[in-house]
Structure 1
């Protein structure tokens, strides 16, 4: 072989090696790229899993690392109100704040959607993880300036610890997620450490969710009806439909347990429509001057199609829109006024009445009354029950009565249990009330029988006597 051929062969071999090296570099870059989130540039779940063992190998026997789970409270409303472009910018800025607080010795990953996971730097002791969580929450609570808009969000933080709570990334993430759930159900912008009894609580909740799905499929959830009474003459003017669920194994499951589960599991829309359909069927057998009230989750008020669905249910039952009152909690409305306003306006324009429920415990009460088409104010039972003992409660209720009269709004006092409180409210021209003083909630048949008999509830000296009256109608 001549010298030129040898040189050419060597050159060709060198070029081939160079191409193979470039190919390997490109392949490695593609693999690494696949381990990062395209939007925020953060590591994704795959990268976190790959890095986990190396991170934990750095922990000495007297040290620990924390695994923290977070998500963005209020992310969906931001997307719905301002569009996905603003939502994407928010996620990127959220990721930047997390990264800044955690530093280069830890790892911040985006698991998907608005879910983020953090592996902390090596920590000397458990309380250091709490300190990190506090710094993260403080950073998150500062307003985000996005395209000239000031957007405020919140978050919760769930914390598990290596090695105390597990040794694998999947186990530590699962337990941090359980702790996050506990933090979010305890309030806003809180953190919680994983505790072993939380596993049992989550298992109980998981079983309840499964049973709730079955109960909805089999129409096992039934409304009962609490009378709403005109206090001037003890005449029934309406009923509030209350969702009730009795499970063969769990027994009676109160709404404050299964309603949050339905909201978290995406079942609240189906549950609401199911109860509404049954309640309207019952109301179709009542006299036309008897109204039907129903509590509505704030999530339903973000469904643009809800007014049409409600109109279809009313048309099916033959109940006029003017007989329907939707109760919306003040606290829920104060968080979602802008998102809820179009749906509330459409409902009001159709003739449906709107009640502000649990009035007095939320925020921006007067502003809500000014902005939204509210017809009725329902005074929270915590204030009503205290009017005879607590001067502040009495002053609060009297102020609401004056306010509603000036604004020409109906007012209903909730949680009535004593004759003396009913008399106190009547003396101050409170229009209506509801509570155990006027008996327990009724089945559809009992409620219908009561109103067809005239709908009068005779005055009684005790809640027990009133209870007997309504039970006689059953």
Structure 2
């Protein structure tokens, strides 16, 4: 039962009854007054006293009128309070409790109303979907209270940059939506405003004792054609924001139709990845790692390959980013790692297995324990496993990354910094984090085999690694020219197509078996009298 509604109905019936009594008392007052007042006047002039019954009735009418007047005042005050309370309830239901902006549920209604007001003027309303870059880092490092303070300050900073007549809403997390009027559909004015928002957000935030820095990525879409509704505009702005994120963050992008086609293709690829995982279409392939000085095989790097039953075979540069963005990378990596460890268990004990770890996996607090359990199940010594992490992994919570890697190294697992030189690693990070090896990215060695190419950069990186006590692996040795250019740098490991293309597990077994037969044959004792 809705008791609040019942109390309201009972109060309303009581008020109606009292108003009815007051109205009746007014009518009776007029009747009684017309009879009694002349008698009172006549009595004051020496005539007979007025009729007591009529006089009492008149006094009762006056009392009822006074009571009705007071109740009318109280009722008017109550109505005003109810109206104010309902308005406050609507405001609270429409607002984000943290920032005071509109919330997700009310945004569509307010935006649709804004679009109706501009329905005859295409391009005069712009929707900006904004995501704060690096907000999670602030939240992780400084705590949720600092994160909340940052969101409030960011909302205030955005509001100050918006023109009159704009809307601002918080969708949740670190996402905001701004809807702004654009006079005459002026694209240059819109670009200037978007640039101003980016510049304003890039300024540091002074939050109590913390100076936090974030940037923003924004997707922009206008009501052109003017028939677009709020949901469509928000969807398109979201696609444009994803485009801005993908191309470097701290920027804005205006929606273009090609973005929708890319969005559809990405969704289809994500669905195909899910199907491929269920169907076991992802398999590990292995690339040889060679000691350049001796030519000996020292290990393999596991690479992901997708072998669908039908259609093309997308490369890892295509499906790995989508798997990371859609939250599938952990499942994909876990399955490949489990199979790779089972394969490596059949190899000679001196060969290592290198696997790539994504930033998403390193954020899992149980990653180290799960990996060590897999090593135990596969009966592989932890010292044979090398984890390769990119410099992007260092941009999150460095303390968590350090703790995870240190836990694994304490068990014997080795850690290599992959694609060294392509990111933002500092010498301090190389000293602080427990790395065992660095891998020089193929982009630095690709041209070494060509005429006139110089190896100073690669030599400097190798010298830096040796100075830090870290052995080196060089990627991208594609031909003999590159190998010759690296022949004088000393003891390093290398990998690339010069040594062969990545192979599946069966091909690796065949290669190792052939190598073992060759070694056995060369080591066999010669018969007496056999020519040396």
Q: Give TM-score, length-normalised by structure 1.
A: 0.91
Deviation at 1:365, TM superposition (A): 3.5
1:322 counterpart residue number: 383
Deviation at 1:352, TM superposition (A): 1.0
**When the two structures are aligned, how many residues end up with a matched partner?**
458
Q: Deviations over 1:202-261 (max 9, x none)?
A: 111001111111222232211111111111222211111111113345521111222222
Contact 1:42–1:109 (CA under 8 A) maintained in structure 2: yes
Deviation at 1:344, TM superposition (A): 1.8
Counterpart secondary structure, 1:39: coil
1:6 counterpart residue number: 65
Deviation at 1:338, TM superposition (A): 4.0
Distance 1:428 1:165, change over 3 A: farther
Counterpart selection for 2:501 from 440, 445, 448 = 440
Structure 2 counterparts to residues 16-415 of structure 1, below 5 A: 16-59=75-118, 61=121, 64-124=124-184, 125-164=186-225, 167-334=228-395, 336-389=397-450, 394-415=455-476
2-side partners of 1:249 and 1:16: how far apart? Answer: 76
2-side partners of 1:149 and 1:30: how far apart? Answer: 35
Deviation at 1:455, TM superposition (A): 7.0
Deviation at 1:367, TM superposition (A): 2.5
Deviation at 1:194, TM superposition (A): 0.6
Deviation at 1:164, TM superposition (A): 3.4
**Greater RCO, CA 8 A, separation 6+:** 1
1-side partners of 2:307 and 2:132: how far apart? Answer: 34
Distance 1:177 1:391, change over 3 A: farther
Mean alpha-carbon deviation: is it higher for 353-362 or for 145-154? 145-154
Distance 1:215 1:442, change over 3 A: same
2-side partners of 1:457 and 1:9: how far apart? Answer: 113
Counterpart secondary structure, 2:171: strand
Mean alpha-carbon deviation: is it higher for 127-136 or for 280-289? 127-136
Q: Deviations over 1:388-434 (max 9, x none)?
A: 44978621101112122222212111011110111221221141111
2:45 counterpart residue number: none
Counterpart secondary structure, 1:105: coil
Counterpart secondary structure, 1:247: coil
Mean alpha-carbon deviation: is it higher for 330-339 or for 443-452? 330-339
- 5+ unaligned residues in a row in structure 2: which ranges? 1-24, 26-60, 520-532
Q: Deviations over 1:351-375 (max 9, x none)?
A: 1111111111111342221111111
Contact 1:333–1:340 (CA under 8 A) maintained in structure 2: yes
Deviation at 1:334, TM superposition (A): 4.8
Contact 1:160–1:172 (CA under 8 A) maintained in structure 2: yes
Counterpart secondary structure, 1:454: helix
Contact 1:102–1:121 (CA under 8 A) maintained in structure 2: no
Distance 1:379 1:147, change over 3 A: same
Deviation at 1:176, TM superposition (A): 0.3
Contact 1:236–1:451 (CA under 8 A) maintained in structure 2: no
Distance 1:276 1:62, change over 3 A: closer
2-side partners of 1:215 and 1:334: how far apart? Answer: 30
2-side partners of 1:159 and 1:249: how far apart? Answer: 38
Q: Deviations over 1:21-59 (max 9, x none)?
A: 312321221011110000111111233223224423454
Q: Deviations over 1:271-307 (max 9, x none)?
A: 2211111111111111111100011112222222110
Deviation at 1:179, TM superposition (A): 0.6
Distance 1:165 1:224, change over 3 A: farther
2-side partners of 1:240 and 1:42: how far apart? Answer: 50
1-side partners of 2:516 and 2:202: how far apart? Answer: 52
Distance 1:405 1:63, change over 3 A: closer
1-side partners of 2:516 and 2:129: how far apart? Answer: 54
Contact 2:141–2:397 (CA under 8 A) maintained in structure 1: no
Deviation at 1:152, TM superposition (A): 2.1
Counterpart secondary structure, 2:286: strand
Counterpart secondary structure, 1:251: coil
The Cα RMSD (Å) is 2.2
2-side partners of 1:186 and 1:120: how far apart? Answer: 25
Counterpart secondary structure, 1:294: strand
Q: Which of the two has higher C-alpha Rg?
A: 2
1-side partners of 2:470 and 2:226: how far apart? Answer: 55
Deviation at 1:268, TM superposition (A): 1.8
Counterpart secondary structure, 1:108: strand
Mean alpha-carbon deviation: is it higher for 46-55 or for 82-91? 46-55
1-side partners of 2:407 and 2:207: how far apart? Answer: 30
